[in-house]
Amino acid sequence: MKSAQEAPIPPLPPLQLHIDGGANRSITNELSCLIRYKNIKPYYMTSASQDDSICCTALGYLPWYSPEEKCLLVRCYYSPQATGTIMLPSDIILTH
């Protein structure tokens, strides 16, 4: 986390963010939005539909700005199968 906080934050494309209280992990389908990401062995998550698993292939930090304009780095998985960026509220609360 310390090294991620020291990394420069690149300009990010606009994201449509979904805060999901029922989610169990933060996930995005935009790898370019993650900083200090690393490729991981395939990690499968069940989707909301329970029909298909989502395969995550990277893990990094998603810069998120609080209403007070403080940059928080939220641990976030990457999967091209994700429908967008989903943030887990407890990830934000427990980390910060």
Q: 90: pLDDT confidence band, cut at 50, 70 and 90?
A: confident
Q: Does residue 76 register a pLDDT over 70?
A: yes
pLDDT one-digit tens code per residue, 8-57: 665 555 555 545 445 578 899 999 999 999 999 999 987 665 566 889 99
Q: What is the CATH number of domain 2-95?
A: 2.40.70
Question: Taking the model in full, what pTM does it have?
Answer: 0.71
pLDDT at 59: 97
For residue 91, is pLDDT > 60? Answer: yes
Q: Computed from CA positions of residues 56, 57, 59, 65, in that sequence, does the dihedral angle turn out positive or negative? A: negative
Angle at 56 between CA 60 and CA 78, to 5 degrees: 40
- Residue 95's alpha-carbon distances to 11, 22, 52, in angstroms, are 23, 18, 29
Say which residues have a Cβ less than 8 Å from residue 28's Cβ, sequence separation at least 6.
Answer: 15, 34, 62, 76, 77, 78, 79, 82, 84, 85, 86
